[in-house]
Structure 1
Amino acid sequence: MSLVVPVILGSVRRDRNGLRAARYVTKALEARGHEVPLVDPADLGLPLLDRMYKEYPKGEAPAVLEGLAATLRRADAFVIVSAEYNHSIPPALSNTLDHFLEEYFWRPSAIVCYSAGRYGGVRAAMQLRAMLAELGTPSIPSLLPIPEVHKTLDEAGAPQQPWLDRSAGRFLDELAWYAEALRDRRRSGTPY
């Protein structure tokens, strides 16, 4: 069953490796027949959070926020692609996520984390779990950590290690299960 799954990238650094991971997961989701818009904070150029989207009078939010809100509202699930900055969430990712709230409600999220080292960004993923739950898009139990991302994926997002496709397959199966289940429940109403 086709889903709409925005991939939200977390880094704006010039030489970021996150694009490799975002390209990989985007291709993997598209190969399953899903619609996968890429939400790239480097392209969006969002200001530092001063006012959330919902705090603007109707029709007065900046066009970039209106467009992103429309994308998020169409979503069945979200994939967050995050590096680990100082054992924490990248500031560009936090800023992108924090502009919205209700647009995430009742939809699952999944965390793809990466790093240049062996831990694959899992320390940031643990903090992301709490943040995503608070935003109303709780993360699925599994993670997809990508250690040594510069060796595991090439610049186009093609895997260079055979284990990655196996791990990603199980991870995306789990995300689809949660996304379909919550989509069905949203259709019959939500608690508020």
Structure 2
Amino acid sequence: MIIIGSVRPGRIGLPVAHWVRDRVEAAGHEVDLVDLVELNLPFMDEPEHPAKRAYTKPHTIAWSARVQQADAVLLVSPEYNHSYSPALKNALDFLMLEWQGKPVGVVSYGGGSGGLRGAAALDAVLTTIGLVRVPVDVAINFPHAHVAEGVFTPDPKHDATLTKMVEALGRYAEALTPLRAL
């Protein structure tokens, strides 16, 4: 599962996510590309804590089923004010048990930091909901410089690092399979 962590109009996350999806599929993996714009989750409207899995809303039930099916998660995440987007936080917070025991990688993007401050801010949330971070980060500095006509063209280092991340996600997904049994 690849989640596009930005919902801003004109977002760069969409072309970056398409590049990520293409590379993951080329590596032989099925991809569920989640665009938070299309997912359109409201702001936390379930009456019970997600740990109870007592969902009452159709959008939460559908989101739960979708995440449950994923073996690994790859976040395409912008850096907003040294952190990550509120839309991504909301999507993560809607669920709890569905995330547990799954590996996660972050492809971050932003100015000079390449989004690494936002990716670092995500760590506490990812750990709390049971995701297991792989030790490979793809950080894209000044991503607008890599987009022409809506297509992201990575540097060779971005491609090489993403390849390592996808391989790590595969290894971790296999190793963590026993932990994903709910």
User: Would you say same fold, with TM above 0.5?
Assistant: yes
Q: Name the one with the larger strand percent.
A: 2
Mapped to 2, the partners of 1:20 and 1:45 lie a distance apart of 19
- How many residues get paired? 180
Tell me the residue number matched to 2:10.
15
Percent identity of equivalent pairs? 37
Mapped to 2, the partners of 1:155 and 1:136 lie a distance apart of 38
TM-score for both structures, normalised by structure 2 = 0.89
Q: Which runs of 5 or more structure 2 residues have no equivalent in the other structure?
A: none
Query: 1:70–1:119: structure 2 CA closer, same or farther, 3 Å change rule?
Result: same
What's the C-alpha RMSD, in Å, of the aligned pairs? 2.0
Q: 1:69 and 2:49 equivalent?
A: no
Q: 1:166 and 2:160 equivalent?
A: yes
Residue 175 of structure 1 is aligned with which of 148, 169, 173?
Answer: 169
Tell me the residue number matched to 1:121.
115
Tell me the residue number matched to 2:144.
150
Mapped to 1, the partners of 2:150 and 2:28 lie a distance apart of 20
Q: Deviations over 1:32-72 (max 9, x none)?
A: 121111111111111111325565746xx322222221111
Preserved CA contact (<8 Å) 1:154 1:160: no
Shift of 1:24: 1.1
Tell me the residue number matched to 1:87.
82
Tell me the residue number matched to 1:134.
128
For residue 84 of structure 2, what is the amino acid of its counterpart?
I
Q: Which runs of 5 or more structure 1 residues have no equivalent in the other structure?
A: 1-5
Preserved CA contact (<8 Å) 1:19 1:157: no
